[in-house]
Structure 1
Amino acid sequence: MVSPARYIRFAKVFRVAPRVIWLSSVFIGVLASVPKILQLHITFTELMVDSSIAFVYSLLIWYANLFNLPKYSNKAAEGGFFTIRLLCSLLFGIGFMILLVSVHQLLFPAYNFKSMLMMYQFRGILINLTIYMFLHLLYQSHRTQLMAIELERTRADNLGAQFELLKQQINPHFLFNSLSTLKSMIEIGDEQSANFINKLSDFYRSTLDNRKSDLITLTEEMAILQAYIYLLKARFEEGISLAIEIHPSLNQSLIPPFTLQLLVENCIKHNIVSLEQPLNIRLYTTNANLVIENPLQLRKNPESSTQLGLENIDQRYMHLLNRKIVIENNGAVFKVKLPLIHEYPNH
């Protein structure tokens, strides 16, 4: 099995399929023999010998130019088209053509190849330039694609890192608010303080597993929310209530963990919660959204905000769905609409 690191190195190596090299060399060989076909009194053997020179020359020039590229490095070829690499390729091609013609003259002494050396050299330079240009374009295209892949991977890694940071911010935020609640209970001598600590411990332990997930089912999220509401009622008693109107068919829809808990925290942070003026929170669904709303009964001195609530939720939905949450405030009721997320076999 290929390791990820080795696979990445393999993907960065520039390659040309062998069949492309061989088929193009055959085509060049056939194309180079066309002028010979137009001549009178040309024999089939002479035609094949002439074609073989162009074929062998093209084949070697292909591989010479290919292996002259920085193939086994992720470093891009320096310079443009006209570089020292092109000059070396042309000089190599001239020398190889002389050798190739000399060998054919020895193998087929009946044909006067040496008298046509200049014609073969001119043909060879054209073949070399054509192959070099085609290879240069392929290589530059390959480098461009690699850069695009690297940029996309960097972007994905950056988004993933931001998303992980968002998830890491949630539990410390919840713990801070829970400890503030416990502090208040202890200060007023609430007899439920010890039970609150036990419930908080159990709740916090259960949230650690869900914290590792990007998405959980709405059923799991509701279990977290119900436990959180229990902890809130230990402090506020009848000063807070939650009405849930969610159709059972949506229980398996998905939601980022702790979303509803953060929204309830946001309600408490900005509104009066007391026995005289209870905060009645409503949670329900529409065709495409999960909606949480509360009446606006704003505090005169609201708690200081850490800016982790609505912004955190909005960024997580942007990361997962590329969709923003909808916030509505008509002066009497505050609503937050969350897009429903459904899981499909192919997505």
Structure 2
Amino acid sequence: MIKKTFKVSAGIIWLSSIFLGVLTTVPKIAEKYFSVFEAITDALITSLFTLFVWYFNIYSLPKFSRHTTETGFSPPLLIRSIGVGVLVMFLMVGAQKLMMPSREFGPFMLMFEVRGILINLVFYMLLHLLYQAHQNQQVMVELERTKADNMGAQYELLKQQVNPHFLFNSLNTLKSMVELEDKNSVDFILKLSDFYRFTLENRKLDLIQLSEEIEILDAYMFLLKARFEEGISLEYRIEDEHYHTWVPPFTLQLLVENCIKHNVVSLDYPLHIVLYSEGDHLIVENKLQLKNNPGRSTGMGLDNINRRYLHLLDKKIEIETNQDSFRVKLPIIHERTNH
């Protein structure tokens, strides 16, 4: 990331200097014996001195960050600026005295030196505030960039989260099928290959069409059926138009996996899962038949899905549970309005 260099517009510098010079002529206009030449020379001295203060202090700005990184304010630099300003003003007023020897040098010099110190103080503080505002803006931009990079990195991790237990269980199931010379062993291997091919192809995508997600889920369910047989079933009740909507990849697989993790799945107590659409939501519902010893739940599966929807759609998933059933409602993502 390229940081913006602190700059003060040349127009602001010159206009403020000229304006301040013109402003100093106002009291002279009210004097009884008004001298146009004196007014012009006073205005010229003030304007040139203000220009000097601007550029001298801008030149000193890099030293703010080297010597006083916490506040950017440097009393030694301010004292040096005032000291140099007093000398410059003395030389400028001395030059005017040579052109106008009739003016009293002492009071005239004192008036301009006081004016110069005030100009130095005001513009030093103004420049300091502008510089600090610029630095704060740069810090905020950097923080936002870091935050965005961090969120992007976290989202990539979420997309690549694959449960290693599923692979372990699938390989164990395959081993048993081969040992028993199950005729479905080849189909199981092909479906397992298809599932992990889907994983490799789609894990880098933010969204895929629901129809493609269901293909992944079908391959996943085939593998589960080889393990649980008639102990698990999945029913689709999705309206035709919703097949062309979008979901984050592997959302449905994670929800089915979550159902298996917390519920009894057996031939005596088959787990029936229903996937259906209702209004603006896609719903995964299962009958509750909780395990006696489900183990400690980390909540990572549902949290994974929720964070992905927050990242992509700025919407949360809805979880509803009662004594009989458990439902997860996913916001439907339409191509034109959301994708």
Q: In the alignment, does 2:285 pair up with 1:293?
A: yes
Indicate whether 1:62 and 2:60 are aligned.
no
2:45 maps to which residue? 53
Match of residue 203 from structure 2: 211
TM-aligned CA distance change 1:266 to 1:81, over 3 Å: closer
> Which stretch of structure 1 is more off in the superposition, 299-308 or 152-161?
299-308
Partner residue of 2:129 out of 137, 143, 161: 137
**Closer, same or farther in 2 for the Cα pair 1:232/1:343, shift >3 Å?**
same
Could you say which residue in structure 1 is the equivalent of 2:323? 331
SS of 2:7 mapped into structure 1:
coil
Change (3 A) 1:274 1:191: farther
How many residue pairs get aligned? The number is 338
Cα offset for 1:123?
A: 0.7
User: What secondary structure sits across from 1:169 in the alignment?
Assistant: coil
Deviation readout 1:77-111 (Å, 9 max, x if unpaired): 455756111111111111111222234445x3466
Q: How does 1:20-31 map to 2 (within 5 A)?
A: 20-31=12-23
Distance 1:296 1:229 in 2: 19
Q: Sort the Cα spacing of 1:332 and 1:183 in 2 relative to 1 into closer, same or farther, 3 A.
A: farther
Once the two structures are superposed, residues 21-42 of structure 1 have per-residue CA deviations (whole angstroms, 9 ceiling, x without a partner) of: 1111111111122222222332
Q: For 2:319, what is the secondary structure of its paired residue? A: strand
Percentage of matched positions with identical amino acids: 54
Moved more, 115-124 or 154-163: 154-163
Task: Give distance in 2, aligned partners of 1:68 and 1:244.
Answer: 71
User: Are the counterparts in 2 of residues 70 and 76 from structure 1 also a CA contact under 8 Å?
Assistant: no
Q: Residue 136 of structure 1: CA displacement?
A: 1.6
Q: Match of 2:273?
A: 281
Equivalent position of 2:80 in the other structure: 88
Once residues 67 and 218 of structure 2 are traced to their aligned partners in structure 1, the CA distance between those partners, rounded to angstroms, is 56
Comparing 180-189 with 143-152, greater Cα deviation is found at 180-189
User: Structure 1 residues 65, 322: closer, same or farther in 2, change over 3 A?
Assistant: same
Moved more, 96-105 or 17-26: 96-105
* Gap change, CA 1:146 and 1:346, over 3 Å in 2: farther
**Residue type of the alignment partner of 2:11:** R
2:185 is matched with: 193
Report the equivalent of 1:235: 227
1:176-191 paired onto structure 2 within 5 Å:
176-186=168-178, 189-191=181-183
The equivalent position to 2:249 in structure 1, one of 257, 281, 284, is: 257
Deviation at 1:173, TM superposition (A): 5.6
Q: Which ranges in structure 1 are unaligned for 5 or more consecutive residues?
A: none
State which of 150, 155, 165 in structure 2 corresponds to 1:163. Answer: 155
- Deviation at 1:321? 3.9
Aligned-residue offset at 1:278? 3.0
Q: TM-score, normalised by structure 2?
A: 0.87
Deviates more, 1:228-237 or 1:15-24: 228-237
Supply the distance in 2 between the matched residues of 1:264 and 1:78 (Cα, whole angstroms): 54
TM-score after normalising by structure 1: 0.85
- AA partner of residue 136 (structure 1): H
Partners of 1:170 and 1:258 within 8 A in 2 = no
Q: In 2, distance between residues paired with 1:174 and 1:26?
A: 77
**In the aligned structure 1, how far is the partner of 2:113 from the partner of 2:42?**
13
Distance 1:332 1:176 in 2: 31
Identify if the C-alpha distance between structure 1 residues 187 and 17 changes in structure 2 by more than 3 Å, giving closer, same or farther. Answer: farther
Q: Corresponding residue for 2:11?
A: 19
The offset of 1:17, in angstroms, is: 1.7
1:121-132 correspondence runs (5 A):
121-132=113-124
Aligned to 1:257, the other structure's residue is in SS state coil
Q: Which runs of 5+ in 2 are unaligned?
A: none
2:311 paired residue number? 319
Deviations 1:292-344 (A, max 9, x none): 00112234455786754223223333333444322222121111112223445
Partner AA of 2:6 in structure 1: F
1:284–1:292 contact (8 Å) kept in structure 2: yes
Q: Which of the numbers 249, 262, 267 marks the counterpart of 2:259?
A: 267
**TM-superposed deviation, 1:76:** 6.2
Cα distance, 1:126 vs structure 2? 1.0
Letter aligned with residue 221 of structure 2: I
1:194 CA displacement: 2.4
Separation in 2, partners of 1:111, 1:209: 91
Q: 1:309 to 1:22 in 2, by over 3 A?
A: same
Matched position secondary structure for 1:190: coil
Amino acid at match of 2:184: Q
CA distance in 1, matches of 2:57, 2:192: 69
CA–CA distance in structure 2, aligned partners of residues 75 and 249 of structure 1: 65
